[in-house]
Amino acid sequence: MRFAADQSEQTRRLRAELRRAQAVTPALAADVLALAEASRLASGGRARAARIRELIRAEAWTDGALALIELGLPQWKLRRIVYEDGEWHCSLGKHWPLPAWLDDVVDVSHPMLPLALLTAFVQACSVPPGSTETARTVPSVRPATAHAMCCDNFA
């Protein structure tokens, strides 16, 4: 229970820091990667995490943020990136073919694209796994009795 509380505090702190940030720094990117490693990374993702660290060292912020989303949240997909009115609008969703109103979507905007992507990643990390899958499923209902009827016209 303590781990979940620490992680939620870390997520809250990172969201506030990303909101205030004017540029991506190696320390900020490393903090987001540490959040991903603490909560979501599978054991097979060590090589890919090392690749993200290389991108952070090279200051390839957009590529690093996209790789981090792909590695840390494999069930989430990038739905939209739009530059409008001086801000980047980024949307992540769990179910790509579904319309946005049926999907569990995270919408974020920021003047810098890498910061918008990182903020969307951190916000998606705070969504509990399986939170919407149960809420958005339609229960199956079976009729109590079934009657077969022929509708062919034999005249």
Alpha helices, H only, the chain:
2-20, 26-39, 46-57, 61-72, 113-125
- pLDDT score recorded for residue 3: 46
Query: To 10 degrees, what angle do helices 26-39 and 46-57 make?
Result: 170
The pLDDT, as a whole number, for residue 155 is 67
State residue 93's pLDDT score: 86
State residue 50's pLDDT score. 86
pLDDT at 61: 92
CA–CA distances in Å: residue 34 to residues 28, 81, 112, 122? 10, 25, 21, 11
One digit per residue, pLDDT tens: the chain, 155 residues? 444 555 678 788 888 898 888 899 989 988 888 887 765 554 456 777 888 889 999 999 999 999 988 888 888 888 889 999 999 999 998 877 777 667 778 889 999 999 999 999 998 888 776 554 444 455 555 555 666 677 777 76
